[in-house]
Chain A
Amino acid sequence: MREAISVSGLRKSFGRTQALDGLAFSVRAGEVHGFLGPNGAGKTTTIRILLGLLRRDAGEARLLGGDPWRDAVELHRRLAYVPGDVALWPNLSGGEVIDLLGRLRGGLDPRRRAELLERFELDPKKKCRAYSTGNRQKVALVSALASGADLLLLDEPTSGLDPLMKAVFRECVTEEQQRSRTVLLSSHILAEVEAVCDRVTTIRDGRTVESGTLAELRHLTRTSVSAELEAPPVGFSELEGVHDLQVEGTTVRCQVDPEGLDGVLRRLTTAGVRSLTSQPPTLEELFMRHYRTGEAAARSRAETPR
């Protein structure tokens, strides 16, 4: 089984709201797959369909070789899930919930449990009622990471964690990858996905925007080039694949398609380069570009941090 998750033409509507509209992507066994999209894009709906909590209206979904709706119970033996908004039983302690969920999944490694409690600095004796959002998230994370699951479905699992704990989380995901476990990490925090993911799928309005490795996604995008030259630049506007050209005296700034880079560099060296910066696009830029269309643009600007 090469693909842990494969989804195609997935549709789901709630009343008049079309949550998923032909979503397609696949996650290979053993990879950490980023699942990116703004709030309301359909990430959680997708995960809940994969968990067999929601029934798809149309389309195909395979999870670990089974049907997520029909084979839910058997599949759940092999997966662990961390919801974005963790709700727990107020009168049970954190430790009790970790154990209970672990046992319901079919067991959990007590050594790993103790180690994770320490790393996440979580007091398991506190009643869930007394936990903050971040601590409730830690309870779900410890329980999922200490289980022997083949597949981890993580739905914005770090939204309540502080930067220190986010770093611990990234370490843990990297460790899971080394144990050749598959991880689907839904997020709208790009730095997180960039740091740990092999491949990424971006979605918007219930549809896949793009799917591929980080390198492939970069390949599809432009590089921003900024150079100070010895002579005023000429002829850049005639070059293929150059966008957003700005010329100020001897300084030139532009966005270049990958196939246009060669021509741009030749033209730059002809004029004589004093300084040159070229930046691969960060996921932030990728993300912004995908959502900077129509109404989605305003939303993503408001939601993307910094």
Chain B
Amino acid sequence: MNAVKGLAGIRALVRLILRRDRIPLPIWVLLLAAVPAAFAATFAELYPTAAERQAFAEVAGNNPGLLALFGPVFDPSVGGLTAWRVSILLAVVALISVLTVVRHTRTEEEAGRRELVGSTVVGRHASLAAALLVTGAANLALAGLMALGLIVVQDLPVGGSLALGLAFAAAGCTSAAVAAVAAQLTQGAGAARGLAISVLGLAFLLRLAGDVGGEEGGTSWLSWLSPFGWAQQVRPFADERWWVLGLAAGAFVALAAVAYALSSRRDVGAGLLPPRDGPAVAPAYLRSPLALAWRLHRGLLLGWTAGFAAVGVMIGSVTGTVTEMFTDNPQLQAIFEQLGGQAGLADLYLSAVLSLLGLAAAGYAVQAVLWLRSEETAARAEPVLSAQVDRLRWAAGHLFFALVGPAVALTALGVAAGVVHGANTGDVRGELPRVLAGALAQLPAVWVLAGLATALFGLLPRLAPLSWAVLAVFALLTLFGEVLQLDRWLLDVSPFAHVPELPGGEVSTTPLVWLVVLAAALAAAGMVGLRRRDVG
């Protein structure tokens, strides 16, 4: 009876969420549902015969970089290769699910809207349940449409297509439940997002570490600790293992139960930890827009730096074991010699992973720039700008962290990966600068994104969140552009296409200089716009 009461009003809340998300929700579901069918078409065209596909699968299944990114190839059919290649999108589905759940739970509470809703005939658990319900339903819709696309358009086996769709839904739902728990623990929505995304990041790293050695690798059990690992172990188009979906379902139920238990124990608006008092007087340093920006951005900076350092340690250690493992394999020795031998292979792997992390760092840069916009829309810019503070000085405080923050995080990444990898190969002095350079080479492209977000913020503030869409397009171009055989000019639209592949690749400073110039020009345009426009 209590359970039913707790869910009173859920119908209206579900409708409210659907109304508020009526544009983004269908877009991401449709967009992501279409990707596997597009890949299936490409694979069918690129590798029309079974022998060609077999050859491709062999190379892909033995390349540690590809293994780490996409996991093992379970079946060399068109469906199998598609499932393998799109597995990277599991992280995207997971991320969107987390953002959706937090947006409709903790964000509502923080903004005080939950209070208004809670005063009506709405049960204690209704808003949490409604958020999970909508996110879960969206994931199932994604599964259905994805399978439909593969079956109808590409004529792939029904079982495998369904399994792939459901694997995505499983990863999305599990992540949604992780977010539901995180939303109960912290008081701020930002902290809840950070916590849930950290958990997903860890899960992704576990999967990466588990898969990098291939199926027979000694660390393959690590994949089984990760929801991303489960989604892949469903093995669509390769004798589907449906029972693995049960693991995800179990995790979903368990996490949702924890979230419910926590939510019935706490006050609306409160986290699990009691709020602490702050100082009655501001510390001496807190006297400038830059100091305020440091105060607001330091958590983000610390989180990204720590996260990137952890990833660096992981990559560094993995790179070492990868190369050792493959030199033991005489059959593949010839291929590796072609690729540049042991060191060349390590470099290939490192540069591939670093370019991926460059995209992540760009996400940090965009996040930091858009902080300005949220300060403005939340009317927190007003008290600062009505003091003796120039607009540009106010904006510069935040932009400083958008530019320097990613630099610090990438440095931490490069140093951690370089030192650990260097220690493994016994050449820290040699490896550290090479890996660090590879990490820092991403920076100009990252700054272009920061510049773009600044330009939008200054000139077309309402469209500033579009920076995320642009970053998503660049990420898709980096990840899938070459496989989809897009034209060179289209690939070149992304600033990341101009970053030299370091370590190992050719060092060319000209494109980097141009990227920096472009970033500076964009940022300057944004500043000019900010000078001239209305604030608030």
Which residues of A are at the interface with B, using a C-beta cutoff of 8 A?
48, 51-55, 72-74, 76-77, 79-81, 83, 85-101, 103-106, 124-127, 129-130, 140, 153
Closest 3 CB pairs of A and B: A93-B278, A99-B282, A104-B387
B488 at the interface (CB under 8 A from A): no
CB of B277 within 8 A of chain A?
yes
Pick the contact of A83 from B277, B288, B382 — CB < 8 Å? Answer: B382
Asked whether A91 lies within 8 Å of B188 as measured between CB atoms, the reply is yes
Name the B residues within 8 Å of A140 (CB-CB). 383
- Is A99 a contact partner of B187 (Cβ separation < 8 A)? no
A96 nearest CB neighbor, chain B only:
B282
Interface of B is mostly: loop
Question: Does A96 contact B278, Cβ atoms closer than 8 Å?
Answer: yes
> What residues of B have a CB within 8 angstroms of the CB of A52 in the complex?
385
Interface residues of B in 378-395 (CB under 8 A from A): 378-380, 382-390
Q: Could you tell me the distance in whole angstroms from the C-beta of A91 to the nearest C-beta in chain B?
A: 7
Q: Contacting chain A: which of B2-10, B142-150, B404-412, B528-536?
A: B528-536
Asked if residues B388 and A106 are in contact (CB atoms below 8 Å), the reply is yes
Contact flag A130-B282 (CB < 8 Å), given A53-B536, A104-B387: no
The total of chain B residues at the interface (CB under 8 A) is 37
B533 cross-chain contacts in A, Cβ below 8 A = 55
B309-343 CB contacts (< 8 Å) to partner A: none
Q: Which of A76, A93, A95 contacts B388 (CB 8 A)?
A: A76
Residues of chain B within 8 A (CB-CB) of A77 are: 388
Decide if B278 touches A53 in the complex (CB within 8 Å). Answer: no
> Are B383 and A125 touching (Cβ within 8 A)?
no
Q: Is the CB of B386 within 8 A of A87?
A: no
Structural contact, B187 and A129, CB atoms closer than 8 A: yes
Q: Do the beta carbons of A81 and B383 come within 8 Å of each other?
A: yes
Taking a contact as CB atoms under 8 Å apart, the answer to whether A126 and B380 are in contact is: no
CA distance A263 to B276 in the complex (A): 71
CB pair A124–B280 under 8 Å, yes or no, is yes
Nearest-CB residue, chain B, relative to A50: B386
Q: In the complex, what distance in Å separates the CA atom of A234 from the CA atom of B201?
A: 91
A76 pairs with B535, CB closer than 8 A = no
Pair A92/B295 contact, Cβ less than 8 Å:
yes
Is B24 part of the contact surface with A, judged by Cβ < 8 Å? no
Is A124 touching B281 in the complex (CB atoms < 8 A)? yes
Question: Residue-by-residue, is B286-323 near A (CB-CB < 8 Å gives 1, otherwise 0)?
Answer: 11110110011000000000000000000000000000
Cβ of B379 and Cβ of A83 under 8 Å apart? Answer: yes
Q: How far is the CB of B392 from chain A (nearest CB, A)?
A: 10
Residue among A72, A74, A85, A94 with the highest chain B CB neighbour number at 10 A? A72
Contact between chains at A125 and B278 (CB < 8 Å):
yes
A145 and B17 CA atoms in complex are apart in Å by 43
Distance, CA A87 to CA B382, complexed state (A):
9
CB proximity of A201 to chain B, nearest CB, Å: 21
Given contacts A53-B535, A73-B389, A93-B280, contact A127 B275 (CB under 8 A): yes
Given A95-B278, A95-B282, CB of A105 within 8 Å of CB of B379: no
CB-CB contacts below 8 Å: B152-209 with A: 187-188
In the complex with contacts A54-B534, A55-B533, A130-B275, A104-B287 CB distance below 8 A: yes
Contacts A/B (CB < 8 Å), 8 sampled: A53-B386, A73-B388, A87-B378, A87-B380, A95-B279, A104-B288, A125-B277, A125-B280
CA distance in complex: A101, B380 (Å): 11
Please give, as numbers and ranges, the residues of chain B lying within 8 Å of A101 by CB-CB distance.
Answer: 383-384, 387
How many Å lie between the Cα of A51 and that of B379 in the bound state? 14
Residues of chain A within 8 A (CB-CB) of B390 are 72-73
Contact B277 A93 (CB under 8 A): yes
**What chain B residues lie within 8 Å of A76 (beta carbons)?**
386-389
Contacts of B282 in A (CB 8 A): 95-100, 103
Q: Do B536 and A54 touch (CB < 8 A)?
A: yes
Q: How far is the CB of A185 from chain B (nearest CB, A)?
A: 16
The answer to whether B292 and A55 have CB atoms under 8 Å apart is: no
**CA A99 to CA B282, docked complex, whole Å:** 6
Minimum CB–CB distance from A43 to chain B (whole Å) comes to 15
A53 and B382 within 8 A (CB): yes
List the B side residues contacting A90 at CB < 8 Å.
110, 188
> Inside 8 A of A88's CB, which chain B residues have their CB?
380, 383
- Residue of A with least CB distance to B535: A53
In the complex, the answer to whether A92 meets B278 with C-beta atoms within 8 Å is yes
Q: How far is the CA of A54 from the CA of B376 in the complex (A)?
A: 13
Q: Collect the chain B residues with CB atoms within 8 Å of residue A86's CB.
A: 383
A55-B532, A89-B380, A129-B188 given; A104·B388 CB < 8 A: yes
Cα distance, A87 to B383, chains bound together (Å)? 9
A208–B493 alpha-carbon span in the complex (Å): 54
B280 / chain A contacts, CB cutoff of 8 Å: 93, 95, 124-125
B contact residues around A124 at 8 Å (CB): 280-281
A125 to B277, CA, bound (A): 5
Pick from A91, A99, A126: contact of B286, CB under 8 Å: A99
| Closest chain B CB from A225 CB (angstroms) | 47
Cα-based distance from A73 to B535 in the complex (angstroms): 15
**How far is B386's CA from A72's CA once the two chains are assembled, in angstroms?**
8
Give the distance in Å from the alpha carbon of A140 to the alpha carbon of B387 in the complex.
12
Q: Taking CB as reference atom, which chain A residue is nearest B377?
A: A87
Q: Which one of A81, A129, A130 lies within 8 Å of B386 (CB-CB)? A: A81
Interchain CB contact (< 8 A) of A125 among B279, B286, B387: B279
Tell me, in angstroms, the Cα distance from A129 to B389 when the chains sit together.
Answer: 24
Q: What 16 new A-B contacts, CB under 8 Å, besides A55-B533, A95-B280, A129-B187? A: A51-B385, A52-B385, A54-B534, A73-B390, A76-B386, A81-B382, A81-B386, A89-B292, A93-B278, A99-B286, A100-B282, A103-B287, A104-B287, A105-B387, A125-B279, A130-B275
Assembled-state Cα–Cα distance A74/B289 (Å): 16
User: Are A127 and B534 in contact, with the CB atoms below 8 A?
Assistant: no
A54 touches B535 (CB 8 A): yes
Q: Which of B380, B386, B535 has the most CB of A within 10 A?
A: B386
CA distance A88 to B282 in the complex (A): 15
- Scoring B283, B292, B382, B389 by chain A CB atoms within 10 A of each residue's CB, the highest score goes to B382
Cβ contacts under 8 Å, A99 to chain B: 281-282, 286
Query: Which chain B residues (350-384) contact chain A, with CB distance < 8 Å?
Result: 378-380, 382-384
| B534: A residues at CB distance < 8 A | 53-55
Question: Which chain B residues numbered 502 to 536 have a C-beta less than 8 Å away from chain A?
Answer: 532-536
Task: Provide the residues of chain A in CB contact with B379, threshold 8 Å.
Answer: 83, 85, 87
Complexed CA–CA distance, A104 and B296 (Å): 16
Chain B residues near A95 (CB, 8 Å)? 278-282
Residues of B within 8 A of A153 (CB): 386
A94 to B281, CA, bound (A): 9
Q: CB distance B536 to A127 under 8 Å? A: no
> Assuming A96-B282, A99-B281, is B275 touching A89 (CB within 8 A)?
no
Q: Which residues of A contact B287 (CB under 8 A)?
A: 100, 103-104
Q: Which residues of A contact B386 (CB under 8 A)?
A: 51, 53, 76, 79-81, 153
Docked CA distance A100–B294 (Å): 13
